[in-house]
Structure 1
């Protein structure tokens, strides 16, 4: 096969294609094809629609995320509020119990104070009553190795002309005195009749 004959065949084929294209493609056809292509305004409109859809989707996602976060924080706060309410209720109950206990202690204290005043009054009365059996003697001279009981009985007999027995004297002793002079003597007799006789 000859190379020059191949080129002439290819050249012939290209010429036929060229003439065929000239016959088939006209200017009107190209204009119609260009009109069918997307216009710039259509592209802007499509881009606008796509952007709006993307923004809407983004807005919805952000809104959902914010709502989820708000719900999470609200739930956490509600849980903490419930815990605080529970603690507050427990503290209120403890305070009420303490108030009840305090009232009870106050009542007991008032009762104890009343009993104490009553006991003090009775003690004062008993002390006064017991003193009616006491005789206090001043300037009762001291002696070496003194026997106060015997000395007292002798003095009462000699000076007051009264006869008392040893059994009539419950106790006798000198009182401590910070003043100069002879310390006084206190004598407790069995009953007040003996005291009246001596007085």
Structure 2
């Protein structure tokens, strides 16, 4: 019982202590008038103590006044405490507010952590993908480069082999070509020589020939007998028919007039004796006489006579001669270059 009474006694003390602490904590937030009244009350209470025999009726009146004042102050304090208690935040509200703040902070922290994790994972993923792609790309490039080098090497070796073979063939063909060119030059030179020689031989065989133009053509004509008659009547020349080895007409001319006549005499002396009368007017009425030139000599003579750099050109004793603008005489062959020939002298 004693213990229970002790507990019962201690409990009011604890409650009083809590009440005092609450009053002390909340006193600063009380109104100014309340704080002043409390201070005045404390000042009024602190009076010197007196013995019980000194109490007088006057003192009893002041004490009753003081009790009235204290009760009023207590009432005001109680009202202030009520106002303070009402204005104070409740524990449940604090819990809710704290919970909301903590939840908001938690969400923000979670969001930030999540974003950081996402960014870090994204960065790591990008870096990983980048490195992987780079490595694969480099591996592919290396592989393709090696394949290209191998193929290039094979092609180069094959090309070198083909090039060596081709070079040998080209060298062989070049040698053959040079040989063929030499042979061609030799053949060309030989052909020119043969052509010149053939022309000279032909012209030499025609050295005793005379070509008659514009000689009237008759039916069943005897050209040998008629030539002897014309020469005797026109120039009083006795020509022995035996001096004319051959005489006949050849295809030629423009097809409108009489065909040309070719006469071959025994020798050049007889031919010269006949042809020196070619300028005779009576003979010109019957025919005109010319040296029987080969085709190439006749062509060369026409070209020289038509060249403005040449004064005159003629045939004599199987050869072609010409005078240039300065009066210098030149001998020409069928294969000569006229311009180069004229520059030499």
TM-score for both structures, normalised by structure 1: 0.52
Q: Indicate conservation of the 8 Å contact 1:149/1:166, yes or no.
A: no
The one of the two structures with greater contact order (alpha-carbon pairs below 8 A, sep at least 6) is: 1
Question: 1:86, 1:175 → 2: CA distance?
Answer: 66
Q: Secondary structure at the match of 2:238?
A: coil
Question: 1:148, 1:113 → 2: CA distance?
Answer: 43
Answer yes or no: is 1:120 the counterpart of 2:195.
yes
Question: 2:257, 2:206 → 1: CA distance?
Answer: 24
Indicate how the Cα distance of structure 1 residues 97 and 85 shifts in structure 2: closer, same or farther if over 3 A, else same: same
Answer yes or no: is 1:150 the counterpart of 2:225.
yes
**Cross-structure match for 2:264:** 188
- Return the index of the structure with the highest Cα Rg: 2
- The Cα shift of 1:103 comes to 0.9
Out of 150, 155, 167, the position equivalent to 1:92 is: 167
Q: Indicate conservation of the 8 Å contact 1:137/1:184, yes or no.
A: yes
Question: 2:217, 2:162 → 1: CA distance?
Answer: 80
Question: 1:174, 1:81 → 2: CA distance?
Answer: 72
Q: Indicate conservation of the 8 Å contact 1:173/1:185, yes or no.
A: yes
1:14-56 Cα shifts (integer Å, max 9, x gaps)? xxxxxxxxxxxxxxxxxxxxxxxxxxxxxxxxxxxxxxxxxxx
Answer yes or no: is 1:173 the counterpart of 2:239.
no
Indicate how the Cα distance of structure 1 residues 181 and 170 shifts in structure 2: closer, same or farther if over 3 A, else same: closer
TM-score for both structures, normalised by structure 2: 0.32
Q: Secondary structure at the match of 2:217?
A: coil
Answer yes or no: is 1:163 the counterpart of 2:239.
yes
**Cross-structure match for 1:108:** 183
Indicate how the Cα distance of structure 1 residues 147 and 165 shifts in structure 2: closer, same or farther if over 3 A, else same: closer
* Uncovered stretches (5+) of structure 2, i.e. residues with no partner: 1-142, 277-345
Alpha-carbon RMSD across the aligned residues, in angstroms, is 3.6
* Uncovered stretches (5+) of structure 1, i.e. residues with no partner: 1-68
- The Cα shift of 1:189 comes to 1.8
Question: 1:136, 1:75 → 2: CA distance?
Answer: 84
Q: Secondary structure at the match of 1:186?
A: strand
- The Cα shift of 1:148 comes to 1.8
Structure with higher helix content: 1
Indicate how the Cα distance of structure 1 residues 151 and 75 shifts in structure 2: closer, same or farther if over 3 A, else same: same
Q: Secondary structure at the match of 1:141?
A: coil
- The Cα shift of 1:173 comes to 1.7
Indicate how the Cα distance of structure 1 residues 91 and 175 shifts in structure 2: closer, same or farther if over 3 A, else same: closer
Q: Secondary structure at the match of 1:172?
A: strand
Q: Indicate conservation of the 8 Å contact 2:249/2:259, yes or no.
A: no
Q: Indicate conservation of the 8 Å contact 1:175/1:185, yes or no.
A: no
Question: 1:75, 1:178 → 2: CA distance?
Answer: 79
Q: Indicate conservation of the 8 Å contact 2:210/2:264, yes or no.
A: yes
Question: 1:106, 1:90 → 2: CA distance?
Answer: 23
Alignment: residue pair count: 135
